[in-house]
Structure 1
Amino acid sequence: MKQIRVKGFKIFNDRHGKPRCYHRATGHKIDLERAPLGSAEFFAECTRISAIAEAKKALGPKPGTLGGLILVYFETEHFQNRAPATQRDYRKCADFLYPIRDTPVSVINTPLIAGIHDKAAAKIGWRRANMVRTFLGQVFRFAVPKGLIDQDYSAAVIPKPRPKDRPYANRPWKQDERTIVLERTAPHVRVVIALIMNTGLDPSDALKLTRRQIDGSTIWGFRGKTNEEIAIPIGPTLQAALDAAPEHDAVTILANSRGKPWTYDGFSTVWHRFKMKLEEEGLVQPGLTLKGLRHTVATTLRETGMGERQIADLLGQKTPAMARHYSRSANLAERNRLTLDVLEKENERRSEIVKPFSKTVKP
């Protein structure tokens, strides 16, 4: 039998002596039972697969273009190490920029990026427009050392301001709202709220905490978004909440009603339904969010005169002027212990819910 060769395809016999064929670039296999090797159907299938591969290649980003720069950034270790939420946001930015992906690098300048920024604000809103600006800044930042572009043309573009009539995102909770939520929610949800309320942890980080991250009276770990170290002392109020929580065997500190680790989407769904019920009853105002509890902690501490650096240390926030090292853990824990003492005393002064959580409290 005459040996058949087709450019771009690998034709071979498997270990059972059965002929096989696939497209090298895409890995697409040809069913040789439906299109026997050497038949008209076989060559037609090869032509079809090759055409599809060429079309996809043509649609991909080209070197020397904006799309090419974005592809380079997506392949960097920096992007791969970003939090999943940040990666999703950046890919959405890339989707927005897709129609102009073939823009040559040679024509990219500050006025062009400013124009893109303005168009994004009109089309997808000021917040996402600023995200597009930030994303392009990251792309240019990593493209400059590689010689792919000469500077970061987004740096001089002024971020869009928050509209004055827009409600405050993730606003701090009012004192009566904190009290009502803690009194009305189910025990397995109450402990989640109490943990975030008394530590300032991001909700996603709080739900992922494991038992091994508690050493003595301190929660150790890293903030998912910034990878900044956290060392948060467990105050009396939080300890009482943890002691009153339903028992479970999950590896996480927090668990749902079935004793299984919470997923972020799962808890968000439960929280949203509960919050909407409270809104319908007129017990809380609209705009109550889980992330707002972080703002509540920061606001409470700021009102006591606590310094920004101390608050940032507690919340795991990163600033360009401060590069902390892992060896600072012990000092950080002690400083945060003093910070949490201030929060505990201020909440008590304001008659916040600080009395021990009781397992007899009904949801």
Structure 2
Amino acid sequence: MTRIRVKGFKIFDDRHGKPRCYHRATGHKIDLEKTPLGSAEFFAECTRIAAIAEARKAQAPKPGTLGGLVNAYFQTEHFGNLADATKRDYRKCADFLHPIRDTPVSAITKPLVSGIHDKAAGKIGWRRANMVRTFLSQVFRYAIPRGLIDRDYAAGVIPKPRPKDRPYANRPWAVEERAVVLERAAPHVRVAIALIMNTGLDPSDALKLTRRQIDGNTIWGVRGKTGHEVAIPISPTLQAALDAAPPHDAVTILATSTGKPWTYNGFSTVWHRFKKKLEAEDAVQPGLTLKGLRHTVATTLREAGLEERQIADLLGQKTPSMARHYSRSANLADRNRITMETLEKENERRSKVVKPFKKTVKP
């Protein structure tokens, strides 16, 4: 019997005597029932798989290039420990750099990085251009100890300034906007917004909170972006919002209308549609973001006269030393309780001047 051989493919009989065929480099299996061994269809399938493998190999980052440095950084523990949002941002930066991925490391200089930064500002805006600069700096920093590059060529590149006529991102919400949104949001959306509004949590962190993270009248958690611990007392307003939320069996505190845990993208989509309807009716001003609620909490507390350290504790922005980690945790809830009482009183005072908005908008 003639034995068929194809370069790059492993052809053999299994323990049951049945013929098998795999592409060696990728492990891709050929279905020999659809494309019988030795048939024209079989050889065509082998050619197709080999061509795909070669194309992917050609696209893979080459050692000693910018693409190789980027790929090496993506394998580091540092990148793996970043928040999901930061990972997404860095992946987008890598996509922007993809056309020049084959640039040799020897050709990377500070003027080259500065030119990349300038081009990015023109194509994707000043903010994302600065993100590309930050990303390159991280790539270079983690490549230096491995001997892949000799210095951080992004270190001396000056960040792009915010345009003077550009409104600030994630602006604080006006009191009237908060009232309108809470009045007109669907119940499963209202409780999510109320939770963010009354805690200052990042939206992504709020959506991930589980029931087990509520201990008595305190929410315990960790900021996904920084890994810093937060201990947020549950105010009467927040407790009322949680009590009024639609019942569900999800492990998370917040859930969709079908009782499933929210994904960040899912909630963002629902929020965007809801917000656009309100903007079309001039019920809210443009520029309303979920992250803006975090700024709202900080601004409200600052205007109420609280110290920056108190606000930082509530928002999880303070970095404790490991030696004081547990003692800090023991006192954090008590300190934040005073902060939360101030926020509760200030929100109540401001809301008294706002007229209720009765019309409902479905998200």
User: Same fold by TM (over 0.5)?
Assistant: yes
1:142-201 alpha-carbon deviations (Å, 9 max, x no partner): 111111111111111111111111122111011121122223333332222221111001
1:223-254 alpha-carbon deviations (Å, 9 max, x no partner): 22222222111122212222233333332222
Match of 1:358 in 2: none
- Tell me, in whole angstroms, the C-alpha distance in 2 between the residues paired with 1:33 and 1:249: 46
Match of 2:240 in 1: 240
Match of 1:141 in 2: 141
Q: CA deviation at 1:305?
A: 3.2
Distance 1:104 1:318, change over 3 A: farther
Distance 1:35 1:264, change over 3 A: closer
Match of 2:155 in 1: 155
| TM-score, with structure 2 as normaliser | 0.88
Whether the aligned pair in 2 keeps the contact of 1:226 and 1:318 (CA below 8 Å) is no
- Tell me, in whole angstroms, the C-alpha distance in 2 between the residues paired with 1:323 and 1:112: 39
Instruction: Report how many aligned residue pairs link the two structures.
Output: 355
Match of 2:231 in 1: 231
Match of 1:12 in 2: 12
Letter of the structure 2 residue corresponding to residue 342 of structure 1: T
Whether the aligned pair in 1 keeps the contact of 2:309 and 2:318 (CA below 8 Å) is no
Larger deviation, residues 328-337 vs 140-149: 328-337
Report matched runs for 1:308-347 at 5 Å. Answer: 308-317=308-317, 323=321, 326-327=325-326, 328-347=328-347
Match of 2:349 in 1: 349
- Tell me, in whole angstroms, the C-alpha distance in 2 between the residues paired with 1:39 and 1:192: 60
Report matched runs for 1:60-209 at 5 Å. Answer: 60-209=60-209
Larger deviation, residues 251-260 vs 29-38: 29-38
Whether the aligned pair in 2 keeps the contact of 1:249 and 1:259 (CA below 8 Å) is yes
Larger deviation, residues 28-37 vs 206-215: 28-37
Match of 2:262 in 1: 262
Distance 1:262 1:33, change over 3 A: closer
Match of 1:357 in 2: none
For residue 11 of structure 1, give the secondary structure of its aligned residue in structure 2: strand
| TM-score, with structure 1 as normaliser | 0.88
Letter of the structure 2 residue corresponding to residue 310 of structure 1: Q
Larger deviation, residues 165-174 vs 1-10: 1-10
After superposing on structure 2, the runs of 4+ consecutive aligned residues of structure 1 that deviate more than 6 Å are none
Larger deviation, residues 42-51 vs 230-239: 42-51
Whether the aligned pair in 2 keeps the contact of 1:218 and 1:232 (CA below 8 Å) is yes
Distance 1:33 1:188, change over 3 A: closer
Q: CA deviation at 1:47?
A: 5.2
**What are the ranges of 5 or more consecutive residues in structure 1 without an aligned counterpart?**
355-360
Q: CA deviation at 1:303?
A: 1.8
Whether the aligned pair in 2 keeps the contact of 1:108 and 1:153 (CA below 8 Å) is yes
**What are the ranges of 5 or more consecutive residues in structure 2 without an aligned counterpart?**
none
Match of 1:304 in 2: 304
Q: CA deviation at 1:273?
A: 3.2
Distance 1:240 1:111, change over 3 A: same
Whether the aligned pair in 1 keeps the contact of 2:311 and 2:339 (CA below 8 Å) is yes
1:282-314 alpha-carbon deviations (Å, 9 max, x no partner): 222111121111110011112233333332222
- Tell me, in whole angstroms, the C-alpha distance in 1 between the residues paired with 2:39 and 2:244: 74
- Tell me, in whole angstroms, the C-alpha distance in 2 between the residues paired with 1:51 and 1:189: 49
- Tell me, in whole angstroms, the C-alpha distance in 1 between the residues paired with 2:311 and 2:145: 35
Whether the aligned pair in 2 keeps the contact of 1:179 and 1:352 (CA below 8 Å) is no
